[in-house]
Each structure stands twice: as C-alpha cells, then as structure tokens.
C-alpha cells in the first residue's frame, strides 16, 4: 500500500471527473448567458434624431437603448468655458475638442457615471449638469468636476447623417 501505482481505476476516475466537469460547464453556461441582452434588445442599437429645431443653449433628451442621451447645442460661452479648463484640473482628463468634434454640439449619455441617475441640466457648480442622487457636478463638456462619480459622462458613437440629423449608435 505504501507505493501507489497509477491504476486503471485512477484513470477512470480522472476521465469521469473531466467529462463531468465539461458537462456541468456546458449546462451551466446557457443558464447564465440567457440573462445577457437578447437579440431583440440588441436590435435596437441605433436611433436617428432630427435636431433642426434645437436653438443654441437648449438641450433635448432622447432615448437610446433605454438610456437617455443629451443633445445640447452649446452657446459660445459654454464652449469657451469648456475649452479653457486645464487638463490638470480634471479628475478624468479629456479635452473638450475630443468630446465635441463639432464644438456647437455635445452629444453624450445622460447617465451619471456614479450610480446611473439622470443629471439635471444647467445645474451645479460648473454650469453643466448636476446629479441629484449623490451630488456629482459636471461641467459644460459633461466632465466630472466634483462628487463621487469616477468618470466623465460617456460619449456614444454618433454621426451627422446630414446637417439636421444625428444618428446615435
């Protein structure tokens, strides 16, 4: 008994356990993956918005993938304010030029990066947005300046289909 030799039976145990583990994995994964977004949810991936009636200084909120998207036509003052900020002052450094390719138009997910509330327009210490849930302040470029949110509000993929229409997604 002192020296254990690999026997036929050891091989059978190992082989059975291995097949069993693969079987369990193959059964459990569909049970987990069924909770991920389904085909019908994924199909609603893009939204087109007509922005022709939006005046400078106004924001519209549209629903994209169940989430609000802010489309703001910024005033020159707001653009200047956003571009004058030094990157060192930012918690999540991003240039306004990168966030708003066309400086007049800021298109971003209206979702606070803290815990997902919708921030309020034209509020807070930085003239941008303020999240009422846990007090995050965003600037005119939607960048986090103060409060618990870790990052700037996200910029979704979007493009101008023509002068008056933005396609999000």
Partner 1 sequence: MSDHEYIPKSNFGKWFNDRLPLLTLANHLTDYPTPKNLNYWWTFGGILTFCLITQIVTGLVLAMHYIAHADMAFDSVEHIMRDVNYGWLIRYIHANGASMFFLAVYIHIFRSLFYGSYKAPREIIWIIGIIIYLLMMAAAFMGYVLPWGQMSFWGATVITNLFSAIPLVGEGIVTWLWGGYSVDNPTLTRFFTLHYLIPFLILGLVVLHIWALHVPGNNNPIGIDVKKPSKDTVPFHPYIVIKDAFALLMFMIVFAFFVFYTPNILGHADNYIEANPLVTPAHIVPEWYLLPFYAILRSVPDKLMGVIAMLSAIFILAALPWLDTSKIRSAVFRPLYRQFYWILVADVLILGYVGAMPAEGLYLLIARVATAYYFLHFLVILPILGFKERTLPVPLSITEPILGGSSNLAAARDDSRLEKLK
Q: Tell me if 28 contacts partner 1 by CB under 8 A.
A: no
Residues 126, 123: Cα–Cα separation, whole Å: 8
The closest of 92, 49, 91 to 72, measured between CA atoms, is 49
**Can you list the alpha helix ranges (DSSP code H) found in the chain?**
8-33, 39-43, 76-84, 96-99
Q: Tell me if 148 contacts partner 1 by CB under 8 A.
A: yes
Q: Which stretch binds partner 1 (CB under 8 A): 10-18, 20-28, 95-103, 130-138?
A: 130-138
Residues 47-66 that bind partner 1 (CB under 8 A): 61, 63, 65-66
Q: Indicate if 134 belongs to the active site.
A: yes
Cα 115 from chain centre: 12
Residues 56, 74: Cα–Cα separation, whole Å: 6
Q: Tell me if 67 contacts partner 1 by CB under 8 A.
A: yes
Q: Tell me if 117 contacts partner 1 by CB under 8 A.
A: yes
Residues 78-97 that bind partner 1 (CB under 8 A): none
Q: Tell me if 30 contacts partner 1 by CB under 8 A.
A: no
Which residues are annotated as catalytic?
A: 134
């Amino acid at each position: 008994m002192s020296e254990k030799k690999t026997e036929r039976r050891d091989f059978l145990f190992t082989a059975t356990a291995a097949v069993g583990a693969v079987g369990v994995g193959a059964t459990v994964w569909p049970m987990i993956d069924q909770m991920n977004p389904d085909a019908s949810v994924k199909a609603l991936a893009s939204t087109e918005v007509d922005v022709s009636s939006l005046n400078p200084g106004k924001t519209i909120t549209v629903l994209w993938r169940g989430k609000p998207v802010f489309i703001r036509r910024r005033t020159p003052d707001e653009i200047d304010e956003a571009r004058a900020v030094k990157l060192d002052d930012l918690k999540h450094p991003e240039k306004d030029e990168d966030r708003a390719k066309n400086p007049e138009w800021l298109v971003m997910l209206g979702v606070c990066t803290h815990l997902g509330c919708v921030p309020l327009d034209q509020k807070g210490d930085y003239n941008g947005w303020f999240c009422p849930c846990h007090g995050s302040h965003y600037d005119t470029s939607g960048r986090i300046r103060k409060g618990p949110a870790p990052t700037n509000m996200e910029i979704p993929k979007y493009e101008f289909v023509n002068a008056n229409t933005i396609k999000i997604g």
